[in-house]
């Protein structure tokens, strides 16, 4: 009794599986494509996408989509937006669909015109009139029924012959023997054929009621393929003011966007699984190329807890008209800022440039001379000639850099991006804007101040052998002195900030400058700075940091036209 029941269950399950596998192919036109309604774009190429719309329902009351997303692991969230149906499950898998295309070959034209009368010409010149009966095939249902259990789904297998009804009977001719076909009446130029497609099925529960013809459903997911690249234009007015314009270049390798709301995020999001594709995608690799949304955005409630949080802070509104993109405003958080642009239409593989924001700021010209760390002579003597030449180029010709300091009046930060600097419409330079929060300032490099001359002279004063003993070893004290001479060849005076960095310990500076002893782990190797590029050329022994450090001397010097000023300094280090 028990064995018979188990066998019955197995047979029923096998019949259900076979019926599911052998179901007829759905016409491609019966499948839905869910439009993109809103998308949040990050600079790294990730996009948080909201697809939503009313789509046709099949006989089982479900919605089938033929466009699968490629979401990041754990970010795929489907839903039913209507009250009449509840989402039960989402299934991704291969299905057979019936696709109609234009017939391009003799075989396809014969297959598309079953039942048509035609004049057939075979190889060798035999010519006769016949009715096309079609090309025999083994259907997918037949193949799956006769295949071993557990095999993959199959597409129909088409034969290599055509059946022709003539006055003598049904003639079977190899397709390779048919030279040409002349239709005696109108013929069909399109053919329907089955093929596999990756489909997404949203299974809906209609609560026992008859399913409606359409259902309102949606998908939320994070996916690579859409990024935005910021760029700035800084126009200086020559009177201490500047106009800063931000524009965005959208790079769309994700999907067609039609009248979509686009949110551009400033900030650094965290996507720990950003390189792992969710299994629902039915593929291993993510699409190639690139958070939280404002409270009024459609996607805010669905993903705010998964990524990060924000609070509102409104910005200016720029209206470019209903025919094009429209900037709706900016939202901020302690971590991320979002610019919202409405009515964006952009096809896949297209690029778009959008004006995003404009702000008036104060500007200040600055002149900075920064002399970087130089390795001790003992190290320079042990490196190859190519590296010595590289160091010589770095250290031999110090130059004063002209910069412009821009204050950020808010309400949103400046993001890291290229910055084109102009003065009353004339091009000055291209620089790099760095992340600058509201209320802070940023310095942009403009050009080298060739009319502020710099001469550097450094020399070793003396060496004191066995100056100190530590851990059984004696160390030599090396004392050095340096002089910086600055000369103003401009027609007006200039204020220069001079920064000299040394390896060792500063003993004196004249005129007295600000001396800072640097923390080698934080000030030098921290997130905002780095060791000199040559630091790894030498294996620094433990005793170096015991005796020696890194220091910075900073002067602020005001030069009058034609005036020269000397800055002197001394320092020492220990060597073994």
Q: Is residue 12 over pLDDT 70?
A: no
pLDDT, tens digit, for every residue of 47-99? 999 999 999 998 899 998 887 899 999 999 999 998 899 999 999 988 888 88
Q: Residue range 393-416: average pLDDT?
A: 88
> Cβ–Cβ contacts within 10 Å for residue 49, how many?
26
371 in Cβ contact with 500 (< 8 Å): yes
Token pair recorded at residue 377 = 């002579």
Peptide bond into 32 cis (omega under 30): no
The distance from CA 8 to its chain's CA centroid, rounded to whole angstroms, is: 54
- In the chain, % helix, strand, coil (3-state, to 5) comes to 15, 50, 35
224 in Cβ contact with 56 (< 8 Å): no
Residue with structure tokens 């440039």?
Answer: 353
Q: Which of 191-205, 235-249, 309-323 has the lowest mean pLDDT?
A: 309-323
Q: Is residue 325 over pLDDT 80?
A: no
7 in Cβ contact with 266 (< 8 Å): no
Of 404, 364, 43, which is closest to residue 231 (Cα–Cα)?
43
Phi/psi of residue 405, nearest 5 degrees: -100, 125
pLDDT, tens digit, for every residue of 438-452? 999 999 999 999 899
**Residue 395: predicted pLDDT:** 72
Where does the pLDDT of residue 327 fall: very low under 50, low under 70, confident under 90, or very high at 90 and above? low
Q: Is residue 407 over pLDDT 90?
A: yes
Q: Is residue 120 over pLDDT 70?
A: yes
**Residue 316: predicted pLDDT:** 33
**Residue 306: predicted pLDDT:** 30
Burial bucket for residue 107 (CB in 10 Å: 0-12, 13-18, 19+): middle
Which own/partner pairs from 306-314 qualify as long-range (CB within 8 Å, at least 24 positions apart)?
A: 306/74, 306/75, 307/48, 307/269, 308/269, 308/270, 308/333, 308/335, 308/336, 309/333, 310/335, 310/336, 310/338, 313/411, 314/411
pTM exceeds 0.85 = no
**Residue 183: predicted pLDDT:** 94
Q: Which of 113-117, 301-305, 431-435, 558-562 has the lowest mean pLDDT?
A: 301-305
pLDDT, tens digit, for every residue of 232-251? 999 999 899 999 999 999 99
Token pair recorded at residue 451 = 């009319």
**Residue 274: predicted pLDDT:** 85
Where does the pLDDT of residue 459 fall: very low under 50, low under 70, confident under 90, or very high at 90 and above? very high
Token pair recorded at residue 467 = 């100056």
Characterise 424 by phi-psi region: left (phi > 0), alpha (psi -120 to 50), beta (else): left
Peptide bond into 411 cis (omega under 30): yes
| Annotated domain spans of the chain | 104-140+157-188, 226-362, 364-419+434-575
Characterise 380 by phi-psi region: left (phi > 0), alpha (psi -120 to 50), beta (else): alpha
Of 546, 569, 576, which is closest to residue 461 (Cα–Cα)?
569
Q: Residue range 537-562: average pLDDT?
A: 90
**Residue 328: predicted pLDDT:** 58
217 CB-near residues (< 8 Å, 6+ apart): 34, 52, 53, 55, 63, 78, 79, 80, 81, 82, 87, 202, 204
Q: Residue range 400-414: average pLDDT?
A: 92
Q: Is residue 314 over pLDDT 90?
A: no
Token pair recorded at residue 83 = 């009250």
**Residue 162: predicted pLDDT:** 94
**Residue 319: predicted pLDDT:** 34
Q: Is residue 180 over pLDDT 50?
A: yes
Where does the pLDDT of residue 324 fall: very low under 50, low under 70, confident under 90, or very high at 90 and above? low
Question: Count of residues for the chain?
Answer: 576
Where does the pLDDT of residue 215 fall: very low under 50, low under 70, confident under 90, or very high at 90 and above? very high
More confident residue, 11 or 143: 143
Q: Is residue 311 over pLDDT 60?
A: no
Most confident range (mean pLDDT) of 222-231, 303-312, 367-376 is 222-231
* Average per-residue pLDDT for the chain: 83
Q: Is residue 262 over pLDDT 90?
A: yes
106 CB-near residues (< 8 Å, 6+ apart): 175, 178, 180, 181
Q: Is residue 310 over pLDDT 50?
A: no
**Residue 336: predicted pLDDT:** 80
Residue with structure tokens 């259990």?
Answer: 149
**Residue 540: predicted pLDDT:** 85
Where does the pLDDT of residue 380 fall: very low under 50, low under 70, confident under 90, or very high at 90 and above? confident
Q: Is residue 323 over pLDDT 60?
A: no
Where does the pLDDT of residue 304 fall: very low under 50, low under 70, confident under 90, or very high at 90 and above? very low
Q: Which architecture characterizes domain 104-140+157-188 according to CATH?
A: Roll (2.30)
Q: Residue range 364-372: average pLDDT?
A: 91
Q: Residue range 570-575: average pLDDT?
A: 96
Q: Residue range 546-553: average pLDDT?
A: 90
The rounded distance, in Å, linking the Cα atoms of 291 and 285 is: 23
Integer angstrom CA distances of residue 223 from 40, 77, 267, 273, 389: 10, 12, 18, 11, 47
Of 310, 275, 290, 336, which is closest to residue 74 (Cα–Cα)?
275
Of the CA atoms within 13 Å of residue 516, those in its CB half-sphere come to 12
Give CA angle at 412 (411, 414), nearest 5°. Answer: 130
226 in Cβ contact with 352 (< 8 Å): no
pLDDT, tens digit, for every residue of 462-484? 999 999 999 999 999 999 999 99
Where does the pLDDT of residue 522 fall: very low under 50, low under 70, confident under 90, or very high at 90 and above? low
Percent of the chain at pLDDT above 70?
83
Characterise 432 by phi-psi region: left (phi > 0), alpha (psi -120 to 50), beta (else): beta
Token pair recorded at residue 14 = 């096998």
């Amino acid at each position: 009794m028990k064995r018979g029941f188990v066998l019955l269950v197995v047979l029923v399950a096998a019949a259900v599986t076979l019926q599911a596998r052998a179901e007829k192919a759905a016409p491609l036109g019966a499948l839905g494509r869910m439009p993109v309604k809103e998308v949040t774009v990050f600079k790294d190429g990730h996009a948080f996408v909201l697809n939503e719309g009313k789509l046709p329902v099949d006989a089982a009351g479900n919605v089938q989509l033929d466009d699968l997303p490629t979401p990041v692991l754990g970010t795929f969230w489907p839903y039913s937006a209507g009250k009449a149906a509840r989402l039960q499950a989402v299934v991704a898998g291969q299905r057979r669909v019936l696709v109609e295309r234009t017939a391009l070959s003799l075989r396809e034209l014969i297959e598309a015109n079953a039942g048509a009368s035609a004049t057939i010409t075979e190889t060798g010149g035999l010519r006769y009139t016949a009715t096309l009966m079609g090309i025999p095939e083994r259907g997918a249902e037949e193949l799956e029924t006769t295949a071993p259990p557990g095999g993959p789904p199959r597409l129909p297998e088409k034969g290599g012959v055509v059946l022709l009804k003539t006055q003598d009977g049904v003639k079977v001719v190899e397709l390779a023997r048919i030279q040409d076909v002349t239709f005696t009446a109108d013929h069909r130029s399109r053919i329907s054929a089955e093929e596999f497609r990756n489909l997404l099925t949203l299974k809906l529960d209609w609560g026992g009621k008859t399913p409606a013809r359409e259902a309102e459903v949606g998908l939320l997911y994070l996916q690579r393929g859409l990024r935005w690249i910021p760029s700035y234009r800084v126009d200086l007015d020559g009177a201490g003011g500047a106009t800063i314009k931000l524009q965005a270049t959208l790079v769309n390798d994700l999907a067609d966007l039609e009248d979509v709301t686009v949110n551009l995020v400033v900030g650094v999001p965290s996507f720990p699984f950003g390189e792992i594709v969710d299994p629902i995608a039915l593929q291993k690799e993510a699409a190639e190329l690139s958070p939280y949304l404002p409270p009024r955005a459609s996607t805010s409630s669905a993903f705010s807890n998964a990524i990060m949080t924000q609070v509102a802070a409104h910005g200016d509104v720029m209206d470019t008209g209903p025919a094009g993109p429209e900037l709706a405003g900016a939202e901020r958080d302690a971590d991320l800022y979002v610019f919202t642009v409405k009515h964006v239409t952009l096809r896949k593989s297209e690029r778009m440039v959008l004006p995003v924001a404009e702000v008036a700021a104060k500007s200040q010209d600055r002149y900075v001379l920064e002399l970087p760390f130089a390795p001790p002579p003992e190290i320079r003597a042990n490196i190859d000639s190519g590296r010595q030449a590289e160091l010589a180029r770095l250290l031999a010709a110090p130059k004063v850099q002209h910069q412009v300091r821009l204050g950020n009046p808010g309400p949103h930060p400046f993001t890291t991006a290229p910055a084109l600097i102009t003065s009353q419409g004339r091009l000055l330079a291209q620089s790099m804007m760095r992340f600058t929060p509201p209320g802070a300032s940023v310095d942009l490099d403009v050009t080298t101040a060739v009319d502020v001359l710099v001469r550097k002279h450094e020399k070793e004063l003396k060496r004191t052998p066995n100056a100190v003993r530590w851990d059984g070893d004696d160390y030599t004290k090396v004392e050095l002195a340096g002089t910086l001479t600055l000369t103003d060849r401009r027609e007006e005076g200039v204020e220069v900030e001079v920064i000299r960095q040394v390896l060792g310990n500063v003993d004196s500076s004249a005129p007295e400058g600000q001396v800072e002893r640097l923390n080698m782990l934080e000030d030098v190797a921290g997130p905002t700075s780095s060791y000199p590029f040559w630091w790894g050329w030498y294996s620094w022994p433990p005793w170096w940091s015991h005796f020696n450090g890194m220091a910075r001397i900073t002067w602020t010097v005001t030069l009058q036209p034609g005036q020269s000023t000397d800055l002197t300094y001394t320092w020492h280090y220990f060597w073994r």
